[in-house]
């Protein structure tokens, strides 16, 4: 699974159908490490700061340059 633009770490709460983006990273190894950490430690939603209930975590590649630019536009650093 190789992507030249990076990866999205997403989750789906139990009983919901929508995927939410939790983190964006440039490397698959870092995304995989983050998912392993999130599976062992409870996480809060980044917008509402509420506990995420029974999430299923996914690593998805960023496929296009336009998606890449859109996702990184609000990056604080």
Cα-based distances in Å from 51 to 9, 47, 55, 62, 75: 17, 11, 10, 26, 23
> What is the rounded CA–CA span in Å between residue 60 and residue 63?
9
> What is the rounded CA–CA span in Å between residue 55 and residue 74?
24
**What pTM does this model have?**
0.84
pLDDT given for residue 76 in this prediction? 57
Binned at pLDDT 50, 70 and 90, residue 36 comes out as very high
Reported as a single tens digit per residue, the pLDDT across 48-59 is 999 999 999 999
What own/partner pairs with CB < 8 Å and gap ≥ 24 does 47-50 have?
A: none
């Amino acid at each position: 699974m190789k992507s030249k633009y990076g990866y999205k770490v997403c989750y789906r709460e139990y009983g919901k159908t929508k995927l939410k983006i939790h983190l964006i990273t440039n490397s698959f190894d870092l995304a995989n490490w983050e998912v392993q950490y999130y599976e062992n430690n409870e996480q809060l939603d980044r917008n509402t700061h509420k506990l995420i209930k029974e999430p299923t975590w996914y690593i998805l590649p960023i496929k296009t340059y336009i998606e890449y630019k859109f996702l990184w536009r609000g990056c604080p650093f």
